[in-house]
């Protein structure tokens, strides 16, 4: 049996040390591995089977098509709640705000951090 040593080649001066609980059997053929790095952490794992990758690509493509259809629809639906104002900008005058609150629509401005109606 052999042992796997871990060594961080990105950090000069660091010595190789014995990886804990890592044993390789020379009789077992080497499997293809993939390495993914997240900041300072590197994860090495067996490569997934080709069929698994193809299936996941197909599933992710279908999910992307579903979300693309929803994102392609123009507009946004904002559900109003009682006592929560919904503000928008007046299309004729960008200095004026339109506030919708509890079924009542008012035009106005923000003065001293508070809405002040002008109509």
**What does the pLDDT look like over 13-26, one tens digit per residue?**
555 554 555 555 66
* Residue 74: per-residue pLDDT: 81
Asked if residue 107 and residue 65 are part of one domain, the reply reads no
Asked if residue 57 and residue 29 are part of one domain, the reply reads yes
93, HSE (Cβ side, Cα atoms, 13 Å): 7
Asked if residue 9 and residue 45 are part of one domain, the reply reads yes
Contact of 101 with 115, CB cutoff 8 Å:
no
In a domain, 31, yes or no: yes
Q: Please determine, for residue 64, whether its predicted confidence score (pLDDT) is greater than 90.
A: yes
114 vs 107: CA distance, rounded Å? 13
Asked if residue 90 and residue 64 are part of one domain, the reply reads no
Domain range holding 93?
Answer: 86-117
Identify which of 118, 89, 83 has the alpha carbon closest to the alpha carbon of residue 104. Answer: 83
Q: Is 36 helix (H, G, I), strand (E, B) or coil?
A: strand
Q: What is the mean pLDDT of the chain?
A: 81
* Residue 12: per-residue pLDDT: 54
**101 — pLDDT class (breaks 50, 70, 90):** very high
Q: Please determine, for residue 83, whether its predicted confidence score (pLDDT) is greater than 80.
A: yes
18 vs 75: CA distance, rounded Å? 58
**34 — pLDDT class (breaks 50, 70, 90):** confident
5 vs 16: CA distance, rounded Å? 6
Place of tokens 């794992």: 45
In a domain, 33, yes or no: yes
* Residue 119: per-residue pLDDT: 66
Number of domains in the chain: 2
pTM: 0.38
* Residue 109: per-residue pLDDT: 93
Rg of the chain (C-alpha set): 30
* Residue 24: per-residue pLDDT: 56
Structure tokens at 102: 């509890």
* Residue 99: per-residue pLDDT: 94
Asked if residue 52 and residue 14 are part of one domain, the reply reads yes
Asked if residue 90 and residue 50 are part of one domain, the reply reads no
């Amino acid at each position: 049996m052999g042992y796997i040593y871990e060594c961080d080649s990105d950090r000069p001066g660091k010595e190789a040390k014995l990886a804990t609980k890592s044993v390789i059997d020379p009789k077992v053929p080497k499997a293809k591995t993939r390495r993914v790095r997240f900041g300072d952490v590197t994860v090495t794992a067996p490569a997934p089977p080709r069929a698994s990758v193809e299936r996941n690509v197909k599933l992710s493509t279908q999910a992307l098509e579903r979300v693309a259809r929803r994102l392609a629809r123009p507009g946004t639906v904002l559900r109003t709640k009682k006592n929560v104002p919904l503000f928008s900008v007046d299309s004729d005058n960008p200095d004026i705000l339109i506030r919708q609150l509890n079924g009542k629509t008012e035009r106005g401005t923000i003065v001293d951090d508070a809405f002040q109606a002008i109509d």
